[in-house]
């Protein structure tokens, strides 16, 4: 990711937003180990549902990639999103003593549905380079937040959210982030001005959704019309 690259540009454009993500009450409480378990339970339910859509977007990227290496990367990432992440979520569900009824009773939030729908729509209708840019924040922002939390909590071996922090600060995950950035940079370098601008917009919009996702978990976001409709 050299100077003047696509990734350098969009990281600079979203610097204030990424800082706001780090400083969001959800993540500061998560780092302190004081995050309310109901909020975290709400988060992992939304995250599990989001990852289904994210995995499908990655699988679509794999089928649309013209490069074998890129196709293999997105295919493996799609599998990881459904397996490794599911295992982590299941571990927290067991730790907190949540039953399937507890989880099914948590409705998919407007933000979760919006982010999921945005990625799926991008996967189906946007050029492949734009899709690569849209899925990148879920790799990059999570790794950035996870690494910062790992440093902040290094001395707390019994931290209640150690498993979550360790997953996103894992060296293997960092390597996947590097690969995702390198792919996106290559695609942007070969793209025309219009496609590159669409890529910038997609990255920024997905990063906005990242902030909204944590914020919705902090607020345990519900549908404003829930009292008027029965689903």
Looking at residues 17-38, what average pLDDT do you find? 96
Q: Which two tokens stand for residue 132?
A: 């690569």
Would you state the pLDDT for residue 96? 63
Q: Which residue has the higher pLDDT, 173 or 71?
A: 71
Looking at residues 193-205, what average pLDDT do you find? 98
Would you state the pLDDT for residue 37? 86
Would you state the pLDDT for residue 230? 72
pLDDT reading at 101 higher than 90: no
Would you state the pLDDT for residue 194? 98
- Whole-angstrom distance, CA of residue 40 vs CA of residue 217: 7
Does the domain at 6-221 match CATH 1.20.910.10? Answer given as yes
pLDDT reading at 87 higher than 80: no
Work out the pLDDT band at 95, boundaries 50, 70, 90: low
Quick check: helix, strand or coil at residue 14? coil
- Whole-angstrom distance, CA of residue 201 vs CA of residue 179: 21
pLDDT reading at 6 higher than 90: yes
Would you state the pLDDT for residue 85? 65
Q: What is the 3-state secondary structure (H, E, C) of 161-214?
A: CHHHHHHHCCHHHHHHHHHHHHHHHHHHHHCCHHHHHHHHHHHHHHHHHHHHHH
Q: What is the 3-state secondary structure (H, E, C) of 37-100?
A: HHHHHHHHHHHHHHHHHHHHHHHHHHHHCCCHHHHHHHHHHHHHHHHHHHHHHHHHHHHHCCCH
Work out the pLDDT band at 93, boundaries 50, 70, 90: low
Cβ–Cβ < 8 Å for 3, 196: no
Q: Which two tokens stand for residue 198?
A: 């669409």
Instruction: Please give the share of the chain, as a percent, with pLDDT higher than 70.
Output: 89
Residue 210 vs residues 43, 90, 96: alpha-carbon distances, Å:
12, 22, 25
Would you state the pLDDT for residue 215? 98
Would you state the pLDDT for residue 102? 64
Query: Domains of the chain: which residue ranges?
Result: 6-221
Q: What's the length of the chain?
A: 231
Work out the pLDDT band at 10, boundaries 50, 70, 90: very high
Looking at residues 167-184, what average pLDDT do you find? 90
pLDDT reading at 169 higher than 80: no
Give per-residue burial for 55-82: e unless 16+ CB within 10 Å, then b. Answer: bbbbbbbbebbeeeebeebbbebbebbb
Which of 72-86, 143-157, 197-211 holds the top average pLDDT? 197-211
Work out the pLDDT band at 88, boundaries 50, 70, 90: low
Cβ–Cβ < 8 Å for 103, 76: no
Per-residue pLDDT of 57-77, as tens digits, reads 999 999 999 999 999 999 999
């Amino acid at each position: 990711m050299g100077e003047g690259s696509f990734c350098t540009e969009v990281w600079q454009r979203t610097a204030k937003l990424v800082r706001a993500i780090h400083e969001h009450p959800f993540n500061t409480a998560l780092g302190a180990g004081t995050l309310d378990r109901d909020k975290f339970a709400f988060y992992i339910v939304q995250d599990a549902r989001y990852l289904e859509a994210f995995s499908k977007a990655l699988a679509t990227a794999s089928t649309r990639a013209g490069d074998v290496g890129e196709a293999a990367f997105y295919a493996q990432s799609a599998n990881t999103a459904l397996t490794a992440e599911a295992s982590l979520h299941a571990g927290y569900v067991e730790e907190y003593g949540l039953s399937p009824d507890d989880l099914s009773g948590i409705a998919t939030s407007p933000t979760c549905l919006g982010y999921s729908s945005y990625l799926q729509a991008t996967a189906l209708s946007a050029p492949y380079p734009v899709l690569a840019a849209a899925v990148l924040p879920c790799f990059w922002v999570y790794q950035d937040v996870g690494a910062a939390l790992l440093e902040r909590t290094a001395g707390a071996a019994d931290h209640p959210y150690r498993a979550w922090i360790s997953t996103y600060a894992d060296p293997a995950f960092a390597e996947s982030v590097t690969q995702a950035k390198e792919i996106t940079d290559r695609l942007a370098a070969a793209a025309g001005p219009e496609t590159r601008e669409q890529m910038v917009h997609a990255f920024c919009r997905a990063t906005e959704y990242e902030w909204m996702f944590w914020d919705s978990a902090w607020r345990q976001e519900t549908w404003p019309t829930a009292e008027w409709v029965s689903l």
